A and B are shown apart, each in its own frame.
Chain A
Amino acid sequence: MSDVARSDGADSSAARRGPPKRPLRLSWSDERFRGIVWQVVVVGLVLAVIAWLWRNTVHNLDTRNIATGFGFLWGQAGMPIADALIPYRPGDTYLRALLAGLLNTLRVALIGILLATILGTLIGIARLSKNWLLAKLAAIYVETLRDLPLLLQLLSWYVALQGLPAARQALNPVTGVYLSNRGLVVPTLVWQGAHGWALLVCALGIVATWYYHKAALARQMRDGQPRRVWPVALLLIIGLPLAIVALLGASWSINWPELRGFNFAGDSVLSPEYVALLLALTTYTAAFIAEIVRAGILSVSQGQWEASSALGLRRGLALRRVVLPQALRVIIPPMTSQYLNLTKNSSLAVAIGYQDIVSIANTTLNQTGQAIEGIALIMAVFLVVSLSISFAMNWYNARIALVER
């Protein structure tokens, strides 16, 4: 009844929106009916499997006397963490241990992404070099590292670092810097408030320089006169912070590393686990990034190079101002997935005993038996981190996307 009424009045709009909706027939020959049946069957099956697994799990947890819920997070962790970024003692809670693990993951992932991008870009450009030797070397690097499992590379780096001399016979390339199988030790500054202020001013200086650079470019667009940016940068980024330090009268006392027993005292140690993980992730991901960068540069047509040189741009300038901005549009999406891969691969840390979030969650679930909560935590952390990286990269991608008329 209502169907008839609708089709009467909506003739004109139906023509615009495509075919009108037919009434649902309860027959297998009706496509929509089939679709609904299929969905009910599939969803029902999935729900049934989940319910079955759920019942088994509840039963198993009951018989094994394993508690459920996240109450264990406030229990005493009792595990030592070798290099935590936040103050942590074995007496602290699981929550704090997991937080330390998360920071360790982020520390290796963020610095790894930065280093892999730099190394990968250099190698990708080197592979396109006209210098035959350089190009071949870059090609060999890429082919070799891409075809070996990351875990194998990680274990090899770790073994190689452990092959360094013991702390007592540490290599001493520069005064105060010691390299041994306990890691890298460097002298550190005794931290004072004035240094913090100087760092803040330095950061502000970088931002200000960036804006000055943009303004200078805008003015160059108007009158064609190039303007120097580096004196302003020097003043804002280095001069001002130094002036602040001098004004506040901060001292420059330095903590020199000293050998105590079998190891160095002080905590400014880059542990061999961290360095091995960082090296493995960086060199492995750089091989993939190099290929992405190479493909991106190749995707820009030769005519762009020729037109740039016809305008009198030097090759470096043409690369920076003409080719790279266009190549970036091809480069960024696959680069995002490499960044995500690097972050997920940082979980291999557990194989060499670097205590990242996966390693600590694993210890936690071994100690408490609460496997489901532990795994859920790992998954939640990685989902959040992955989504944040995708979000940031998508934002950047939208910003550099070609604005079409």
Chain B
Amino acid sequence: MNDTAKIAIGTAVAGVPEAMPRGPSSGTGRIFKWMRQNLFSSWLSAAITLLLAFLIARALFALVQWGLINAIWSVPDGQTQACRAARGVGACWAVVTEKHRFILFGTYPFEEQWRPALAILIFIALYAVSAMRRFWRKELFVIWLGALAVIGVLMWGGVFGLSFVPQERWGGLAVTLILATFGLAFGFPLGILVALGRRSQLPAIKTLCVVYVELIRGVPLVSLLFMASVMFPLFLPDGINIDKLLRAQIAIILFAGAYLAEVVRGGLQALPKGQSEGADALGLSYWQKTGLIVLPQALRLVIPPLVNTFIGFFKDTSLVLIIGIFDLLTAAKTAIIEPAWQGFSLEVYIAAGVIYFAFCFAMSRYSQRLEADLNRSVRR
């Protein structure tokens, strides 16, 4: 508490940034003025600036030394002596260059790896198209169905002259994207249905939805994944066996459904009651009212929190590592299991982190921009 207060006194918590007065016209003068206002406004502020500048400079220096100057970028075919020698002083990016195919595609047959690569590109294109407001129409639904079907064909093969690749061989980034995207594609409609059910007048349906949402949200995803990996086989009759990836996918869909339901419910609650009463007055049926009047407006209200929830799921798919499914993080962890490459996990994790970060950062930036856009056009 004391520290909080101290920072606050010295550097002055600013609620709304003050309008900056016009500075002198010369360039250096403006810079000086800016620095005085933003870096050296008081003794404490100046001390904090100097301390931070020192720490940042040191950290950057160490990072550049480790990551660039002393780093080893490639080694001759599995000979890791150079990397071992540089341990502690330089990064071994050779492990990433050597294993990048494995990290991205797992154990997918080597000659066929263009297929998951293409699937990844289709996924990214799908996200890009969905992000454009021009495409927010019914046709988007068809685009999604088509894209997911094409991805299924690409990954499995067995038709159009593509060789069949069993699911156990899939891995890497493609699996992460499959888990996240299919989880979303099925979890979102489920979430909408549950949200509607939770706001329904029918007591039995309402109770079912409340129990489902609260039960799923009350337990960690890890326990749902355990349930999927050890309990689902017990649930099914003899002879029917669904593979591990599908089981995890079902767990993720159930999980996503419960969380998305709560977000959608927020939108339904925020919608003025007059909208649904007006629809009733027009004599629309429940599904007409919901599909044409309520949902389009309610979903629009919750787009920013929805995108944030998507980011959460994208990160949470990494938890399938715990039940041994070969996603991006598991592939990264497994890439260095050979004795020659052991001990270079930090480099591999950084590489995987960059990929995760790229996706999540893009989504979060998009969500911020969208929020600003929507706030401009819709005043509530």
Contacts and interface: CB of A to CB of B under 8 A. Distances in A.
Interface of A: 35, 38-39, 42-43, 46, 53, 56-57, 59-61, 63, 121-122, 125-126, 128-134, 137, 143-144, 146-152, 155-156, 159-160, 163, 297-298, 300-302, 305, 314-316, 319-320, 323, 344-345, 347-348, 350-351, 358, 362, 365, 371-372, 375, 378-379, 382-383, 386-387
Contact of A151 (B45, B204, B319): B319
Interface of B: 1, 3-9, 11-16, 37-39, 41, 45, 48-49, 52-53, 56, 201-205, 208, 215, 218-223, 226-227, 230-231, 233-238, 311, 315-316, 318-319, 321-322, 329, 333, 345-346, 349-350, 352-353, 356-357, 360-361, 364
Contact of A129 (B13, B223, B234): B13
Nearest to A58: B234
Given A344-B220, A375-B231, A42 B357 contact: no
A319 B364 CA distance: 30
Given A372-B231, A375-B227, A38 B7 contact: no
Contacts of B353: 148, 152, 156
B41 A152 contact: no
B279 to A, nearest CB: 14
Contacts of A301: 15
Given A148-B315, A372-B231, 17 more contacts: A35-B202, A43-B204, A46-B208, A57-B234, A128-B15, A130-B12, A134-B52, A152-B318, A156-B346, A156-B349, A163-B346, A316-B8, A371-B234, A378-B219, A383-B215, A383-B219, A386-B218
Given A128-B14, A130-B41, A320-B5, A347 B356 contact: no
Contact of A57 (B3, B13, B220, B235): B235
Given A59-B237, A129-B7, A42 B205 contact: yes
A119 to B, nearest CB: 11
Contact of B231 (A63, A160, A371): A371
Given A316-B5, A382-B218, A148 B13 contact: no
B95 to A, nearest CB: 13
List the 10 shortest-distance A-B pairs measured between CB atoms, nearest first.
A147-B360, A132-B38, A344-B220, A316-B5, A149-B315, A347-B220, A149-B318, A39-B204, A129-B11, A371-B230
B328 to A, nearest CB: 9
B357 A314 contact: no
A382 B360 CA distance: 28
Contacts of A382: 218-220, 223
Contacts of B227: 371, 375
11 contacts: A39-B205, A125-B7, A131-B38, A131-B48, A133-B39, A137-B52, A147-B311, A152-B349, A152-B356, A315-B12, A371-B227
Contact of A134 (B6, B48, B222, B364): B48
Nearest to B208: A46
A56 B235 CA distance: 5
Given A315-B13, A379-B219, A131 B226 contact: no
Contacts of B208: 42-43, 46
A56 B237 contact: yes
A314 B322 CA distance: 51
Prevailing SS type, chain A contact patch = helix
A272 to B, nearest CB: 14
Most A CB within 10 A of own CB, among B8, B16, B237, B346? B8
A301 to B, nearest CB: 8
Given A319-B13, A365-B230, A131 B41 contact: yes
B321 A351 contact: yes
Given A129-B13, A133-B39, A133-B52, A148 B226 contact: no
Contact of B5 (A319, A347, A358): A319
A316 B350 CA distance: 40
A345 B208 CA distance: 26
A159 B345 contact: yes
A316 B9 contact: yes
Contact of B202 (A39, A56, A305, A345): A39
B205 A131 contact: no
A362 B226 contact: yes
A345 B6 CA distance: 32
Nearest to B5: A316
A343 B60 CA distance: 34
B39 A131 contact: yes
Contacts of B15: 128, 297-298, 300-302, 305
Contacts of A379: 215, 218-219, 223
Most A CB within 10 A of own CB, among B13, B41, B48, B201? B13
A95 B12 CA distance: 53
B356 A147 contact: yes
A350 B322 contact: yes
Contacts of A344: 219-221
A14 to B, nearest CB: 20
A133 B53 contact: yes
Given A42-B204, A347-B222, A155 B349 contact: yes
A159 B346 contact: yes
Nearest to B44: A131
B3 A151 contact: no
A342 to B, nearest CB: 11
Nearest to B212: A46
A148 B357 contact: yes
Given A56-B236, A148-B360, A152-B352, A319 B8 contact: yes
Most A CB within 10 A of own CB, among B7, B53, B234? B234
Contact of A348 (B8, B222, B333, B361): B222
A150 B220 CA distance: 13
A383 B223 CA distance: 12
A332 B39 CA distance: 32
A152 B320 CA distance: 12
Given A57-B235, A379-B218, A38 B16 contact: no
A130 B8 contact: no
Contacts of A348: 222, 319, 322
A302 B18 CA distance: 11
A279 to B, nearest CB: 15
Contacts of B316: 149
Nearest to A159: B345
Contacts of A298: 15
Contact of A61 (B223, B234, B321, B350): B234
A130 B361 CA distance: 25
A32 B48 CA distance: 68
A163 B230 CA distance: 34
Most A CB within 10 A of own CB, among B220, B316, B329? B220
Contacts of B49: 131, 133-134
Contacts of A128: 13-15
